[in-house]
Amino acid sequence: MNLIFQHWVNLNNSNTLPRWAEIAMGSIRSYAEHVGSDYILVDGYPLGKERGVVAQKLFMLDEKFDEYDDVLLLDTDMLASRKHKQNAFDEPGVGRLHLKAMSGAKNSKQGRQWPGMYKRGAPIFFGNFIKLTREQRITLRNFMPSIELIKNNMGDKRASRYLNSNPPNDEQCLHWMIWQSGIFDHMSHDDLMVNHNKYCDMPEECSNDATLIHFCGSRKNNIEQYSRNI
């Protein structure tokens, strides 16, 4: 049995979801049913507020989900197509590698913002699509960054115009865990990479028959209109 996992933190103290989130998450719930997967939406700070908002997504590694063969983490701004519903659990790989960030510390916010938790060449995955087996999750959670490590690696607000002294995000924490565990040292980039143009690219990049599409940033405002045509 497999699980699709999503996480949400309501930062506006409102019980009402934005319209784009309702549509996007609704599409993922329908997609989970179509592919025979369980679905869960976790809210709040299950890993503790010290880790910040986005790193809470790594709660997908928790032992409470060990009953599942594969767990697929999807961002809440991912939209599932109604026309094209290939099963992501049949797709080999973990996610889409951030090859630019992996190539050098100065090439992305990952190395610039949190250099103390960065290893050149170690896998860094974009956080909108991460698919891990039970064995991978069990191994990785043993290397969850400690709160002390998090506090010692608060982002340098001078290093990025996007962040302001934030704790390491989900991508950085997972990068650290992969590096420290060595779990993927024996695997090539091709082994780790999913067919991203069908499962985790942005609308301007994805293939015409994409199953899952990522509406990051201001693209969220286009979800309602886009959803009518896929």
- Structural domains of the chain ordered from first start: 3-227 (3.90.550.10)
pLDDT digits (tens, 9 = 90+) for 181-197: 999 999 999 999 999 99
What does the H/E/C string look like for the chain?
CCEEEEEECCCCCCCCCCHHHHHHHHHHHHHHHHCCCEEEEEECCCCCHHHCCHHHHHHHHCHHHCCCCEEEEECCCEEECCCCCCCHHHCCCCEEECHHHHCCHHHCHHHHHCHHHCCCCCCCEEEEEEEEEHHHHHHHHCCCCCHHHHHHCCCCCCCCCCCCCCCCCHHHHHHHHHHHHCCCCCCCHHHHECCHHHHCECCCCCCCCCCEEECCHHHHHHHHHHHCCC
Residue 162: predicted pLDDT: 43
pLDDT digits (tens, 9 = 90+) for 65-76: 999 999 999 999
Q: What is the mean pLDDT of residues 195-210?
A: 93
